Structure 1
């Protein structure tokens, strides 16, 4: 019964996110907002909606450590697994705007989250700060888009028809009307609320049955489950050769997970704040920060993620999950596994990345 509830919750989250993204995107385009801004804001928020729904539901059920664990686990999953798998399909060439703006912002908000977590509690004022930063970031993107549109119009010559990026819905399309768009968003939100409740309830039961903590379940099963919209979007984009979308979806979602998901969850928690589990503070938050940092040299120097780098990312995610399972069970192989990773695998990877960066710059 609980397995069925978990699967139903996962399906409901994916369906709800898709409906919300479709309705919100069509609504935004109807009002003349560019697809770039829609992708970095509404679509990113839509694919992060399952994380938001699950984290808020966790807070309401008194599981605030699951809320934080879900954000951390989802961001690790997005970079290591989704980007890694996408790069294995086709090398990820990254757009200049993502290199110069969004990737540094992703690392910056990850660093800010780590600093806020040092005292073991996300206080209400810190959560409010995150939400305000989200509003400021979204406003900045809108203003930036309008400036670019104004510049494009200024460069238009002699009455030539100007091709803009705005792609308003086709008038005859079934989702071109405002009531339909609002209905899609409303139904999507309902599915998200129901799905998050079922998923969290089933995950708590699984944690107790397996003898592992709620945080471990949040970092693995729940994080991967709520990241299914990002998986579907990035893999589909990679298969179609739309590599900017594949990378931008992950980067944008990570920014929204921290600023929106964590911020809103903290506001719902109120004066009690969000408790940061000791295990998160000791290990997982720093893994999240490390994988965000790992994106900087590859993107900035080469503007791409090669297939072998994608394989390394995916392999590290498998190793990360294996470590969590071994640690949760206090397995005898944990010491050997940690020694091999820290003494051989990680240093060898760092050396290889440094050599790759030097070659690219040369």
Structure 2
């Protein structure tokens, strides 16, 4: 009976994620048009921040509850699922045409941030000093993104349709959408964890698999909604931005609160995370992620999940 209730509440959380993703994309597109900046930048900032709120909430809750193994597993697992599951499924639904500027700039930054996480983990702990370093990186990336947005605004002509758009309404949609993603993510995660505990798996494995999938649902829903509306750059920008924020912002905040131990087995997951990112940059060089590539990413992610759960 308890599992049935958890399953029902999980569905409620998913419905909240669906509505939240739809409104967040709508508000983000309106802001992009009004401010004359690209949808990619909106995806990297407003939408990526919004879809990362479940990971932030889960990590802070895990910190308070002294479940630090769950934090690192959640962040690494979420970054893997963002590429394997989210981009994989999105490309299966519709081939993704993306800006080559993403390959030149943001994706290499994402890989660099991942390598930074590996570097600070070598001593077996992500300390509070490491957390400060990550937050400094977050500030630098935010400044870079805002600088890019400022340049684009000078170059782009105003869209006539943007004159009719309402900034307060767009901001309201973003706020409500982010709120639904946040609470929908919490409801989904809490009940998925309850189901996982009944199965009997470790916190690290739960973070890498079940919790990571749960916290990646906002990115999945948001990306699918964006693609259906023809805003592919928002979908890709959301994934890239979310992966960067997961490490710089969420790991930064969590490790500043308390140092996080790194178990030796986590380095294998680090390699998988970086491997998925390298495969992604290979596809993005052509400006297209075709449906067969999406199928390959989804299968690779399913194999990784199976290996992690059975090992």
The structure-2 alpha-carbon separation of the partners of 1:43 and 1:198, relative to structure 1 and needing over 3 Å to count, comes to closer
Count of residue pairs brought into register by the alignment: 306
Q: Structure 1: any 5+ residue segments left out of the alignment?
A: 154-162, 328-362
Shift of 1:90: 3.0
The structure-2 alpha-carbon separation of the partners of 1:244 and 1:12, relative to structure 1 and needing over 3 Å to count, comes to closer
Please give the alpha-carbon distance, in whole angstroms, between the structure 2 residues aligned to 1:25 and 1:49.
Answer: 19
Shift of 1:59: 1.3
Match of 2:215 in 1: 226
Check whether the contact 2:100–2:284 (CA below 8 A) recurs between aligned residues: no
The structure-2 alpha-carbon separation of the partners of 1:181 and 1:81, relative to structure 1 and needing over 3 Å to count, comes to closer
Match of 2:81 in 1: 77
Q: How does 1:205-244 map to 2 (within 5 A)?
A: 205-244=194-233
SS of corresponding position for 1:119: coil
Check whether the contact 1:73–1:219 (CA below 8 A) recurs between aligned residues: yes
Match of 2:305 in 1: 321
Worse-matched range after superposition: 6-15 or 272-281: 6-15
Identify the match of residue 298 of structure 1 among 283, 292, 297. Answer: 283
Please give the alpha-carbon distance, in whole angstroms, between the structure 2 residues aligned to 1:15 and 1:86.
Answer: 18
SS of corresponding position for 2:122: helix
Relative contact order (alpha carbons < 8 A, sep ≥ 6): 1 or 2 greater?
2
Check whether the contact 2:43–2:235 (CA below 8 A) recurs between aligned residues: no
Check whether the contact 2:33–2:158 (CA below 8 A) recurs between aligned residues: no
The structure-2 alpha-carbon separation of the partners of 1:14 and 1:63, relative to structure 1 and needing over 3 Å to count, comes to farther
The answer as to 2:227 corresponding to 1:254 is: no
The answer as to 2:158 corresponding to 1:164 is: yes
Worse-matched range after superposition: 318-327 or 207-216: 207-216
Check whether the contact 1:51–1:261 (CA below 8 A) recurs between aligned residues: yes
Please give the alpha-carbon distance, in whole angstroms, between the structure 2 residues aligned to 1:187 and 1:298.
Answer: 34
Please give the alpha-carbon distance, in whole angstroms, between the structure 1 residues aligned to 2:31 and 2:281.
Answer: 34
TM-score (norm: length of structure 1): 0.72
